[in-house]
């Protein structure tokens, strides 16, 4: 500051108001005084050395060293940059890196962090302090520690996996790598995030059935573990976690949790408001947050877990995203998916995740509204999307498939609580029972529609070698759901076991064609083996199959499928295992919204 009075040089140059932090100003002034003294002292030393350099070899050598160590342009700007960063910290709390020393608390533990009482923030800003972790090292322009430079895969193999991912797989979840229009290069990914290179290579190798998959996956998981506590995080690291979660089922939930945390720490959920003002970078960040939101819901709601991401304003106002000038059809598809998950999130909040708690009479209006909302979304988006040059008619067919997934989840709530219709009638009125029966039949219709769509549409079958694993798990649940209702609940749902069994067998045959050339570690391969075990077990049933008769109570009949003496052989359980768990336990134990949690051997 000129004459120690505001405004300072920086604020005057930028036309900004200047508020003096006296403690900070004293530090800067003291530093300038010390710096001036040292400069004058060095000048005197150099003058003496130059005078005696002609006759003194030692003086001449010292002088040469001083001249060789002259200040570089970077050195001369370092102090100015540091001062600018400190001044910016008082203006924008999100950009703080070096808070005023006078405000730091003591740090007796020796850790490189401290709690800073934030006197510069608004009185309404909670919590009123922040954690300072010292100087943050900038991300290098080129990262040399990726799986290519470490020799895990060759550059040609990495390029092949990157191309396989970007040209096809990335289009199923609405373009994680870009905004639906921009193409990225492997070199760009390597310069930005080694984690992104590892994620894309792993997923690409999986879908090309490459022998590199195991090595890529191990490297990716190792980098994820090291990244957990790292402060060096960028948006491409979040993209990498989403890519891994969408396709790597055994670690998906762990990756989702880390992605949600990182996205929140980088304030991606706040980018929505800047995007509405036309900021392109904020648009891309908000778009990535919606992908994190969808990924989180893929692995929470179907598994009976409350989502980590909530209905913030950016989610509630997602339709406004369609009006932005940057919006592409991929983003429109993304918006439609967010809208579906908001309905299902509301259902979780309304009904909870306890499948043993029956719906109360007061719950039916809400369930009816959610079903109507899902029907409305299907009507709105079904014919909106054109064929995609990379994934064919999936944009349109995916709307119908996800609609039936959502309806199956919503309508399966009718099976909560007591298993028999007679027991329900003791606590619920006839009108309520009729509506619950209709909702239950809606779940059966959606499950059968899913299987029929897969069986009849070869293009839809081809999508499963590329779709995120959520689609495979919902398909597997549809099979188990139909088996269970045909065995134990056929008294009040319109289902015929003699129709269900051929339908399931046809679905398994179609999936076996799809998975024949897939990597053996793909989740759908393991699921298909498990479903094949069910089909083989059904063929061993010699007793007559139950025929659906409307109005007959399940408690009055003993269907052959409920014979508790029949169980799966140990060797068949080994064949049906996936990721160390028997397939029966996987199907029945991981979906909390199922009818009950009994093992398949209970009715097979």
Q: How far apart are CA 441 and CA 447, in angstroms?
A: 10
Contact 198, 216 (CB under 8 A): yes
Tell me 53's DSSP state: T
Task: Please write the tens of the pLDDT for every residue from 165-195.
Answer: 999 999 999 999 976 556 899 999 999 999 9
Q: In 3D, which of 87, 120, 91, 88 has the Cα closest to residue 103?
A: 120
pLDDT of residue 54: 62
Contact 307, 259 (CB under 8 A): no
Strands (E), 341-486: none
The verdict on whether omega for the bond into residue 7 sits within 30 degrees of 0, i.e. cis, is: yes
Confidence of residue 499 (pLDDT cuts 50, 70, 90): confident
> What are the start-end ranges of the H helices in 92-193?
155-167, 186-192
Strands (E), 215-277: none
Q: How far apart are CA 337 and CA 471, in angstroms?
A: 13
Task: Summarize the confidence of residues 469-491 as an average pLDDT.
Answer: 86
Bridge partners (DSSP) listed for residue 388: 392
pLDDT of residue 536: 86
Contact 303, 143 (CB under 8 A): no
- What length is written for the chain? 604
Q: Which range has the top average pLDDT, 63-72, 94-103, 567-576?
A: 63-72
Q: How far apart are CA 457 and CA 117, in angstroms?
A: 62
pLDDT at residue 311 above 70? yes
Q: Which two tokens stand for residue 542?
A: 């010699």
Mean pLDDT of the chain: 78
The set of residues, in sequence order, having a beta carbon less than 8 Å from that of 597 and lying 6+ positions away, is 355, 588, 589
E strand or H helix at 200, and its extent?
helix 194-207
The verdict on whether omega for the bond into residue 240 sits within 30 degrees of 0, i.e. cis, is: no
pLDDT at residue 25 above 80? no
Dihedral over Cα of 87, 93, 95, 99: its sign = positive
Q: Which two tokens stand for residue 262?
A: 């990182």
Q: How far apart are CA 250 and CA 579, in angstroms?
A: 7
Percent of the chain with pLDDT over 90: 49
Lowest mean pLDDT among 167-181, 261-275, 444-458, 472-486: 167-181
Confidence of residue 257 (pLDDT cuts 50, 70, 90): very high
Lowest mean pLDDT among 90-104, 354-368, 432-446: 90-104
pLDDT at residue 488 above 90? no
pLDDT of residue 589: 35
The verdict on whether omega for the bond into residue 56 sits within 30 degrees of 0, i.e. cis, is: no
Contact 566, 551 (CB under 8 A): no
């Amino acid at each position: 500051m000129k004459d120690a009075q505001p405004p300072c040089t920086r604020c005057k140059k930028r036309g900004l108001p200047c508020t003096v932090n006296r403690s900070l100003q004293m530090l800067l002034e003291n530093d300038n005084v010390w710096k001036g003294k040292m400069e004058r002292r060095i000048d005197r030393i150099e003058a003496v050395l130059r005078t005696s350099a002609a006759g003194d070899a030692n003086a001449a050598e010292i002088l040469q060293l001083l001249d060789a160590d002259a200040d570089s342009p970077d050195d001369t700007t370092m102090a100015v940059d540091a001062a600018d960063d400190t001044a910016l910290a008082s203006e924008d709390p999100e950009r703080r890196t070096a808070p005023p020393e006078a405000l730091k608390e003591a740090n007796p533990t020796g850790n490189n962090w401290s709690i800073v009482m934030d006197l510069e923030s608004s009185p309404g800003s909670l919590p009123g302090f922040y954690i300072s972790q010292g100087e943050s090292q900038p991300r290098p322009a080129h990262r040399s520690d990726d799986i290519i430079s470490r020799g895990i895969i060759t550059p040609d193999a990495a390029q092949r996996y990157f191309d396989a991912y970007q040209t096809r797989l990335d289009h199923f979840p609405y373009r994680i790598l870009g905004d639906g229009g921009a193409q990225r290069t492997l070199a760009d990914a390597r310069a930005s995030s080694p984690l992104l290179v590892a994620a894309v290579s792993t997923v690409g190798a999986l879908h090309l059935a490459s022998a590199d998959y195991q090595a890529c996956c191990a490297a990716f998981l190792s980098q994820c573990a090291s990244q957990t506590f790292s402060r060096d995080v960028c948006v491409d690291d979040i993209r990498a976690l989403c890519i891994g979660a969408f396709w790597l089922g055994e670690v998906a939930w762990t990756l989702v949790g880390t992605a949600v945390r990182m996205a929140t720490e980088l304030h991606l959920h706040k980018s929505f408001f800047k995007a509405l003002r036309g900021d392109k970078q904020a648009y891309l960040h908000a778009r990535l947050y919606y992908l994190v939101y969808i990924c989180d819901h893929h692995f929470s709601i179907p598994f009976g877990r409350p989502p980590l991401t909530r209905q913030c304003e950016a989610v509630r106002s997602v339709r406004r995203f369609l009006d932005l000038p940057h919006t592409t059809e991929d983003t429109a598809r993304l918006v439609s998916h967010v809208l579906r998950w908001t309905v299902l999130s509301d259902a979780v909040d309304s009904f909870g995740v306890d499948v043993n708690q029956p719906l109360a009479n007061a719950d039916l209006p809400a369930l009816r509204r959610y079903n109507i909302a899902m029907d409305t979304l299907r009507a709105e988006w079904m014919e909106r999307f054109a064929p995609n040059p990379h994934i064919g008619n999936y944009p349109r067919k995916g709307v119908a498939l996800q609609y039936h997934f959502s309806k199956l989840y919503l309508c399966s709530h009718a099976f909560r609580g007591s298993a028999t219709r007679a027991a329900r009638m003791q606590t619920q009125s006839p009108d309520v029972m009729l509506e619950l029966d209709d909702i239950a039949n809606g779940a059966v219709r959606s499950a059968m529609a899913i299987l029929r769509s897969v069986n009849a549409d070869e293009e839809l079958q081809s999508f499963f070698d590329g779709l995120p694993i959520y689609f495979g798990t919902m398909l597997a649940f549809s099979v188990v759901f139909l088996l269970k209702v045909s065995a134990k609940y056929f008294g009040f749902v319109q289902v015929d076991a003699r129709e269900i069994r051929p339908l399931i067998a046809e679905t398994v045959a179609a999936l076996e064609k799809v998975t024949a050339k897939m990597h053996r570690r793909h989740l759908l391969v393991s699921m298909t083996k498990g479903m094949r075990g069910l089909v083989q077990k059904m063929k061993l049933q010699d007793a007559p199959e139950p025929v659906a008769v409307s109005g007959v109570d399940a408690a009055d009949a003993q269907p052959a499928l409920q014979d508790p003496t029949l169980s799966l052989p140990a060797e068949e359980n080994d064949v049906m295992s996936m990721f160390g768990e028997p397939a029966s336990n996987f199907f029945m134990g991981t979906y909390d919204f199922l009818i009950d949690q009994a093992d398949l051997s209970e009715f097979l």
